[in-house]
Structure 1
Amino acid sequence: MGKQDILEILRRYKKEVVNEYKILKIGIFGSISRGEANDESDVDIVIRVSEPDFFMLAGIKNDLEDRLKKPVDIVTYTDSMNAFLKKRIDNEAVYA
């Protein structure tokens, strides 16, 4: 599954759950966004939500792993996040 396929799945997912999860932005970063992924790569997801919640993020992770058929790592984008990770996401992220 390529980058554009993943972004399309994320677009559809966001439309389906935007009211339930209050997703403001969702996208990919990491090896998939850089075009360096292989069959073993996980999908690095960046998400910005209006009201972050552990159980909500666990639900999103499970939903996306079911849809993408790959392991998913989710990072919640916030103003107070680790500066190194924030810069990396700012440089690499492609949003759905």
Structure 2
Amino acid sequence: MKSKKVILEKLIEEQTLLKKEYKVKTIGIFGSYARDEQAETSDVDVLVEFVGPIGFFKFIKLENYLSEKLGIKVDLVTPDALKPLIKSNIIQETVYA
């Protein structure tokens, strides 16, 4: 099982490519990994903000790319996709790379 530190280090390593290929502005983790409460079966929740629109297929490609690089299933979301009732809590708990 990977740690929050290992995941964040990998995201930092990938930042140049993420910015160039996917127009990533900010990226971080939230949920069980951000709170160090992950289980063996946990996926990693990744909050990503883009410089501009990237389209659905590129979004899915990024989610798959991150899953492959991290070796864990990634659940990729944008701030706009968060439900208003939980948005502020998630943004507050997000640990950015």
- Give me the TM-score of the superposition, normalised by structure 2: 0.88
Alignment of 1:46-85 (within 5 A): 46-52=47-53, 53-78=55-80, 81-85=82-86
SS at match of 2:10: helix
Distance 2:9 2:30 in 1: 15
Alignment of 1:9-88 (within 5 A): 9-52=10-53, 53-78=55-80, 81-88=82-89
List runs of 5+ in structure 2 lacking aligned partners.
none
Which segments of structure 1 move beyond 6 Å, counting only runs of 4 or more?
none
Distance 1:39 1:85, change over 3 A: same
Distance 1:32 1:81 in 2: 18
- Give me the TM-score of the superposition, normalised by structure 1: 0.89
Identity among equivalent positions (%) equals 38
List runs of 5+ in structure 1 lacking aligned partners.
none
Residues paired across the two proteins, number:
95
Say what the alpha-carbon RMSD is for the aligned residues.
1.5
